[in-house]
Amino acid sequence: MTLPKTPSFRLDQKRALVAGASSGIGLACAVALGEAGAKVTLAARRVDALNTLVDKMNAAGMKADALPLDVSDIAGTRASVASHGPFDILVNSAGLARHSPALDTTEDDFDTVSDVNVKGAYFLTQAVVNGLVAAGKPGSLINISSQMAHVGGIDRAVYCATKHAVEGFTKSMAIEWGKAGIRINTISPTFILTDLTRPTFADPEKRAWIEDKIKLGRPGKVEDIMGGVVFLASEASAMVTGTSLLVDGGWTAE
C-alpha cells in the first residue's frame, strides 16, 4: 500500500493580500504567510507603518510590499485590488470597535463600525474574488472574525452584530464559490493582547473576567493566530470552507 502524504503548508508562488496589516493580528498574519513562502502585500491606511514593516520582512528574507488601502472606501478598494491582483490568498484583518451599552449606541457608532467590519469586509472579499474568477484561479479567503460572532457580550451589541454578519456572508460565499475552487473561512479569536487592547487588560477587573472566561487561563497572543492562518491559506485545509476556526481558549465551549 502507498502511505498518505500530508498536504503542504507551504505557500511558495502564492500572492497574499493582508488588510489591516499595520499592527496586531494583521501584522502577525502577514508575517506567518511570508514565513510560509507567500509574497505578501500589506495593506492598511498607515503608510509609514506599512513601509517600515515591509522593510523588516524583506530584511528577514520574506517577500513583501505595501499597498495603502482604506476598506471603507469601496471604490478605492475595488480599483486597488484590480490593479494589484489577482491575489491567491486574502486575509482581512481590518476592523474596529466602539463599545457601549446598547441603549447608548449612536447611529454614528453603528454606521462607522458596520462600514468597516461588514461593508468593507464584504466588498474587499468581492474584489479579490472578481480577480480570481477573471484569472480562472482558485483561492483561499480568510476573514478575521471574533469569538463574539458566536456569543454575546456586555457593551458589545454593535460589534457582535457586525461579526455575526461576517460569519453569515462567509457561509453564503462559500456555497457560491466552492465550484470555482475558491474557499472562504473565518478565524474567530478571543481577546488578543495587542496595543489596541492594552487598556482593557490594564483594568484588573476586566482582565480577571477575561481570564476566567478563557478556559486556558490566559489572554491570547498574536502568535496564537499565526498557525491557523497558514493552515487555512494552504492546501492542508483543502476541504475546509464556509466555517470558522475558533481560537478562543475554550471561551465558547460552555
Amino acid 177: pLDDT: 98
Residue type, 101: P
Amino acid 92: pLDDT: 96
- How far is the C-alpha of 81 from the C-alpha of 16, rounded, in Å? 11
Q: What is the CATH number of the domain that holds 160?
A: 3.40.50.720
- How far is the C-alpha of 46 from the C-alpha of 70, rounded, in Å? 9
Q: What is the pLDDT along the chain (254 residues), one digit of tens a residue?
A: 999 999 999 999 999 999 999 999 999 999 999 999 999 999 999 889 999 999 999 999 999 999 999 999 999 999 999 999 999 999 999 988 888 888 888 999 999 999 999 999 999 999 999 999 999 999 999 999 999 899 988 888 999 999 999 999 999 999 999 999 999 999 999 999 888 788 888 888 888 888 899 999 888 999 999 999 999 999 999 999 999 999 999 999 97
- How far is the C-alpha of 35 from the C-alpha of 12, rounded, in Å? 10
DSSP-derived secondary structure letter, 7: P
Instruction: Tell me if 182 is assigned to some domain.
Output: yes
The closest of 238, 228, 19, 63 to 138, measured between CA atoms, is 238
Instruction: Tell me if 111 is assigned to some domain.
Output: yes
| Residue numbers of the domain that contains 37 | 15-193+224-245
Question: CB of 186 within 8 A of CB of 244?
Answer: yes
**122, 123, 159, 177: which one is catalytic?**
159
Amino acid 156: pLDDT: 86
- How far is the C-alpha of 7 from the C-alpha of 147, rounded, in Å? 28
- How far is the C-alpha of 47 from the C-alpha of 107, rounded, in Å? 29
Amino acid 37: pLDDT: 98
Helix ranges (H only) for the chain are 24-35, 47-59, 74-84, 107-114, 121-135, 157-177, 198-202, 204-213, 223-233
Amino acid 204: pLDDT: 87
pLDDT in tens, 133-166: 999 999 999 999 999 899 988 888 999 999 999 9
Instruction: Tell me if 217 is assigned to some domain.
Output: no
The phi-psi region of residue 217 (left if phi > 0; otherwise alpha if psi is between -120 and 50; otherwise beta) is: left
Edge to edge, what strands does the sheet with 39-44 contain?
63-68, 39-44, 15-19, 89-92, 139-144, 182-189, 244-247
The closest of 25, 186, 183, 167 to 94, measured between CA atoms, is 25
Active site (annotated) includes residue 122: no
Question: CB of 146 within 8 A of CB of 98?
Answer: no
Q: What is the DSSP string of 110-121?
A: HHHHHIIIIIIH
Instruction: Tell me if 1 is assigned to some domain.
Output: no
The domain tally of the chain equals: 1
Instruction: Tell me if 205 is assigned to some domain.
Output: no
Question: CB of 45 within 8 A of CB of 68?
Answer: yes
